[in-house]
Amino acid sequence: MRLASLAMYASPPPLAEATATLWGFLSEALKRAGLDEVPAGLDDAVDYHQAWTRPDLLLAQTCGFPYVKHLRGKVKLVATPAYGHPGCDGPLMRSFIVVAKDSAAESLGDLRGARAAINQPDSNSGSNLFRATIAPLARSGRFFSSVIETGGHRNSIAAISDGKADVAAIDCVTYGNVLRFDPESLAGVRILAETVNGPGLPFITRADASDTEVALMRQALQQAIAEPSLATVRDVLCLKDFAILSDADYEPLAELERQAQRLGYPVIA
């Protein structure tokens, strides 16, 4: 069997259940279409970073910035989900820059010397969009007093609530999911500003997947959008559609990094 891993939006728990149901539908649709080696269930044992480059990959979801930095030529784009949360615009999404609820900051400039949290350096929403927003304000390559890496958006929110950090950039899909299903986690933070937007997290397959295989997966994804029995699943995931984006559509994410470098702000610091 090939590998299917959709682990980017797997919490809070209702999301994991809905994603598993979505895959169950996709799996059956692909089998009916004649595709071989389609797994019945998602693999939650393989780290999502490892899944992206597995030679047996059927379908996974990656982040846009790792795609433009490391995965181009090593995977094929299948489709990009369009979510319905505030901050999303079709397949485009942005991040919310959040601070402690009682923070005195009224603008980004007020955050100079603050403690920042990022989920991980190669995250588009937690790092690349954040860096692009802060770069015009930086001086000699610095803006924050310190930066910590938390490993996840929800951890970054917790770091602010617990007083370990002052600011973080949280992608609008994660923020919307937490607001719906774990709102108490957001009780200690508020949105101060928004980043620019860019293409969201694409579904990908291995580089040697045939055009026919990619087409069948795209057809199955569109069937999932139209299937009446998946209405509740789509509502839980706030999933509205799938868009077919090209490599060129993702190039603006790489350009955001280059712009920050030109401004002397190559990393969040």
The mean pLDDT values, 10 residues at a time, for the chain of 269 residues are 95 94 98 97 93 97 97 97 98 98 98 98 97 98 98 97 98 97 97 98 98 98 98 98 98 98 98
pLDDT at 11: 87
Spatial CB neighbours of 47, under 8 Å, sequence gap ≥ 6? none
pLDDT at 243: 98
CATH 3.40.50.300 describes domain 95-196: no
For the chain, residues classed under CATH 3.40.190.10 are 3-84+199-253, 95-196
Phi and psi at residue 194, to the nearest 5° = -125, 150
3-state secondary structure of 191: strand
pLDDT at 36: 94
Q: Which long-range contacts (CB under 8 A, 24 or more apart) does 158-161 make?
A: 158/185, 159/117, 160/98, 160/99, 160/100, 160/117, 160/188, 160/189, 161/100, 161/185, 161/187, 161/188, 161/189
Amino acid at 132: A
Q: pTM above the 0.85 mark?
A: yes
Two tokens, residue 119: 């989920």
Amino acid at 175: Y
pLDDT at 82: 98
pLDDT at 265: 98
CA–CA distance, 221 with 29 (Å, rounded to integer): 9
Query: What CATH architecture is 3-84+199-253?
Result: 3-Layer(aba) Sandwich (3.40)
